[in-house]
Amino acid sequence: MMRIPLARLVNTQTIALVGVLLLNWILFPGFFKIEWQDGRLFGSLIDVFNRGAPVAILAIGMTAVIATKGVDLSVGAVMAMAGAVAATLVVGGYPGWVAVAGALAVGLLCGLWNGALIATLVLMVAGRGIAQLITEGSIVTFSDPTLVFIGTGSFLGLPMPVVIALALMILVTLAVRKTAIGLFIEAVGVNRSAATLAGIRSRLLLIAVYAVSGLCAAIAGIIVAGDIRGADANNAGLWLELDAIAAAVIGGTSLLGGRFSIVMSVVGALIIQAMNTGILVSGYPPEFNLVVKAGMITLILMIQSPFAGRLLTWFGRNRRKGA
Amino acid sequence: MNRSLRPLLATVVIFLIAYAAAVFQFPGLLSTRVLGNFLTDNAFLGIAAVGMTFVIISGGIDLSVGAVIGFTGVLVAVLITWLGWHPLAAFAAAFVVAAAFGAAMGLVIHYLEVPPFIVTLAGMFLARGGASVITQDSVPIDHPFYSAISSLYWRLPGGGRLSFVGLLMVAVFVVGAIVAHRTKFGSYVYALGGNATSASLMGVPVARTTVEIYTLSSVLACLAGIVFSLYTSAGYPLAAVGVELDAIGAVVIGGTLLTGGYGFVFGTFVGVMLLGLVQTYIIFDGTLSSWWTKIVIGFLLFLFIVLQRLVFAASARGDRVAEKA
């Protein structure tokens, strides 16, 4: 008997992404037009990828954290801190690579702290204050070529943020799917006590997962700072933790832990960005975005909820009875 | 003394020490003027934090509070200024909208089994976006009723002013404490936060209680929005951004456990006052930048989360303490 799993046949996320992109195309006929200019690709589609990259990078780390039944609320604040550190270092005369290393170290440190304490609310509140302390309350601007390249440069024709996001996605996916780490993460997410009893060092694993999330946030922070050539402690990464969580949830990662997909979270981030772009090109005020985002999240949650699952089984049973 | 009262006691002691230290440096802080302003300036935060206390005790979280405050302000301002409604009618309309909004979130949380975190996040987007769709500018409210209420105060000995909104906040806290500790609904909320499955088996109406909790939170956020509009005499779609975080902070600093099942309404009051003290101290000092507020609040959160874990690790073994956050 042929049994095709419904979930694999109808992948909500990919259909949604294609749908939103097609909608964009209807609203703006030149949407899929891609040009090659000055050694890199240009076009609305590329722009969706480019603008979506920071949230996609955050979503990669966030997905791993959510899979352990946690949530990292501090990523937006960590972005601001990493950007502030990088900008302050280059303005202080250090070379670009030192600034990048410094920002990554800050992200790692924040991640380790989150993993040890499992209370990311603390850094979410305090982090932005610390970032403002680093920049002394002003927007630190710079023109360091390394940082600007990370934010706005291109590699093999693709914008640098897209390349970084892709590389991170492949790296983390390989790390969790080609080794047992992914299984361990799911085990801890489903039942931490049982996982510990089964021999998983859950404490170390949690610290590692939060550290990865902190690193991802730092990378996103460097990209955003490099993009605007400045570190804005007040606004860099503001509310992006919510977008990252939404991306993971849209991607099908369960907030109750255990089920996760890094690639689908990146798709989720792209869906969010494609909606943003769509609303902009269609001429609606950007505020309208929030309403659409709320509707989108609710819709996907309803499709994925256990209630809908039960409803589907009930329908399936009735249909079989009828046939 | 009862072990479980220790976090509350710690909050009170820390507030008294902090206040004494601040008074030692700036004797002007010990006056009814400052205390009166404490109540007035934090009235909207305090009212919203009472609702948040119930939500967190029940094991949930409500991220939509700040957005509901902003939405209420805009709705009330638009009804009064653009459509010429009487403020009381506008308030009634706002309460109905907020109650329906909260009830809808509660229904989704219970029946679709979606975590409160993500439902109220969607609610936050919806309320904030809805307010911005109505108007993107600040809508002033100029109505004799408004100016009458916002200038209503009782003079305290020492020149302080106990304003109507300050008193309103105190009243909400008193009623909230009675509801939490002395009514059936209150014990349902605690039972739900302790363990939803056992609560359901013991006969707690889980669905009704969940809907009621989020309705209560949204209605109180609506009241906070009205107070905020009295305070600013305007409605602005981006008002009170991030107030949900301050409210959560006040609740946690007040000794309520983020995983639910345990907490005090009175503790939240002390938490709100502690946040107010930090802000007032920074204003009094004059040389410290406002970003120190965030760092100090973050440090206080850290302190209380660690403290709660120590207390609960000693009293109840197991690792279910404060997993979230």
Predicted local distance difference test score (pLDDT) of residue A4: 47
On the question of pLDDT at B175 being above 90, the answer is yes
Subunit contact A117:B302, Cβ cutoff 8 A: yes
CB–CB of B123 and A294 under 8 A?
A: yes
Interface touch B125/A117, C-beta < 8 Å: no
Q: Report how far apart, in Å, the C-alpha atoms of A133 and of each of A19, A240, B122, B238, B294 are.
A: 44, 21, 32, 25, 11
3-state helix, strand, coil in chain A (%, to 5): 75, 5, 20
Contact assessment for residue B119 and residue A294, using Cβ atoms and an 8 Å cutoff: no
Is A7 in CB contact (< 8 Å) with chain B?
no
Residue A200: its chain B contacts at CB < 8 A? Answer: none
Separation in Å, CA of B59 to nearest CA in chain A: 14
Question: Mean pLDDT highest for which of A225-234, A235-244, B64-73, B136-145?
Answer: B64-73
CA closest to A294 among chain B residues:
B122
Give the three-class secondary structure for A140: strand
Task: Judge: A126–B298 Cβ closer than 8 Å, yes or no.
Answer: yes
Which runs of consecutive H residues, i.e. helices, occur in B42-86? Answer: 43-57, 65-77
The answer, for A256 touching chain B at a CB cutoff of 8 Å, is: yes
Instruction: For A151-198, write each residue's pLDDT tens digit.
Output: 888 888 889 999 999 999 999 999 988 898 888 888 888 888 888 888
Alpha-carbon distance B125 to nearest alpha carbon in chain A (angstroms): 5
Sort A303 into a burial class: Cβ within 10 Å, 0-12 / 13-18 / 19+. middle
Minimal C-alpha gap between B114 and chain A (Å): 7
Q: What is the pLDDT of residue B51?
A: 95
Cβ contacts of A121 on chain B, cutoff 8 Å: 245, 248-249, 252, 258, 301, 305, 325
Per-residue tokens: A142 = 């710079």
Q: Which residues of A touch B133 (CB under 8 A)?
A: 285, 287-288, 291
Question: Which CATH architecture describes the domain A40-294?
Answer: Orthogonal Bundle (1.10)
How many angstroms away from the CA of A258 is the closest CA of chain B?
14
- What pLDDT score does B211 carry? 96
Of A121, A295, A302, the CB nearest to B301: A121
Minimum distance, in Å, between the CA of residue A290 and any CA atom of chain B: 5
Residue in chain A nearest B290 by alpha carbon: A129
Buried b (16+ CB within 10 A) or exposed e, A195-231: bbeeebebeebbbbbbbbbbbbbbbbbbbbbbbbbbb
| Residues forming beta bridges with residue A230, ordered by sequence position | A141
Q: Does A14 touch chain B (CB under 8 A)?
A: no
Q: Which helix (H) or strand (E) holds B154?
A: strand B153-155
CB contact under 8 Å between A129 and B249, yes or no, is no
The answer to whether A41 and A35 are in contact (CB under 8 A) is yes
For B204-260, write each residue's pLDDT tens digit.
899 999 999 999 999 999 999 999 998 888 889 888 888 888 899 999 989 888 888
pLDDT of residue B324: 43
8 Å CB contact of B237 and A307: no
The whole-number pLDDT of residue B322 equals 42
Q: Measure the CA–CA gap between A177 and A170, rounded to whole angstroms.
A: 10
Chain B CB contacts of A305 below 8 Å: 112-114
Residue B242 C-alpha, separation from nearest chain A C-alpha, in angstroms:
10
Mean pLDDT of B72-83: 93
Best A290, A303, A307 residue to mutate vs chain B (most B CBs within 10 Å):
A290
- The confidence score (pLDDT) of residue B315 equals 62
Q: What is the pLDDT of residues B11-63, one digit of tens each?
A: 898 889 988 998 888 888 888 888 888 888 899 999 999 999 999 999 999 98
Find the CB nearest B136 among A69, A119, A285. Answer: A285
CA distances from B280 to A211, B19, B161, B277 (A): 36, 11, 16, 5
Amino acid at B263: G
Per residue, the 3-state secondary structure of B262-315, as one string, reads CCCHHHHHHHHHHHHHHHHHHHHHCCCCCHHHHHHHHHHHHHHHHHHHHHHHHH
Q: Please name the residue of chain A whose CA is at the shortest distance from the CA of residue B323.
A: A118
Kindly give, in sequence order, each residue whose CB lies less than 8 Å from that of residue B279, ignoring residues fewer than 6 positions away.
B41, B293
- Rounded Cα distance, B67 and B48, in Å: 11
Q: Does A284 touch chain B (CB under 8 A)?
A: no
Q: How confident is the model at residue B314 (pLDDT cuts 50, 70, 90)?
A: low
For residue B320, pLDDT beyond 50: no
Q: What contacts B136, CB < 8 A, 6 or more positions away? A: A285, A287, B237
pLDDT at B70: 94
Helix axes A75-91, A96-117, angle to 10 degrees: 150
Q: Do A287 and B126 touch (CB under 8 A)?
A: no
Q: Predicted ipTM?
A: 0.78
Between B114, B292, B305, which is nearest A301 by CB?
B114
Judge contact between B186 and B262, C-beta under 8 A.
Answer: no
SS3 state of residue B114: coil
User: Would you say B226 and B74 are in contact if contact means Cβ atoms under 8 Å apart?
Assistant: no
Q: With an 8 Å Cβ cutoff, is A206 touching chain B?
A: no
Minimal Cα–Cα distance from B158 to chain A, Å?
36
Contact B129 A246 (CB under 8 A): no
Nearest CA in chain A to B115: A255
Note the pLDDT of residue A199: 84
CA distance B270 to B42: 12
Alpha helices in chain B (DSSP H): 6-25, 32-41, 43-57, 65-77, 87-111, 116-134, 144-150, 164-182, 184-194, 196-201, 206-232, 243-253, 265-285, 291-315
- Which regions in chain A score pLDDT beneath 50? 1-2, 4, 6, 9, 323
Q: Tell me the count of A-B CB pairs closer than 8 A.
A: 138
What pLDDT is stored for residue B32 in this prediction? 83
What domains appear along chain B, each with residue ranges and CATH number?
Answer: 3-315 (1.10.3470)
Put simply, whether A133 touches B (Cβ < 8 Å) is: yes
Is residue A241 a contact partner of residue A58, using CB atoms and an 8 Å limit?
yes
User: Phi, psi at residue A40, to the nearest 5°?
Assistant: -150, 165
Name the nearest CA neighbour of A251 among A64, A81, A70.
Answer: A64
Question: Cβ separation of A71 and B129 shorter than 8 Å?
Answer: no
From chain B, pick out residues whose CB is under 8 angstroms from the CB of A249: 118
Q: How far apart are CA A168 and CA A244, in angstroms?
A: 15
Q: Are the CB atoms for B102 and B225 separated by under 8 Å? A: no
What is the C-alpha separation between A185 and A63, in angstroms, rounded? 11
CA geometry: angle B110, B115, B120, nearest 5 deg? 90
Average pLDDT, chain B: 87
CB contact under 8 A, B252 and A121: yes
Contact between B305 and A301 using a beta-carbon 8 Å cutoff: no
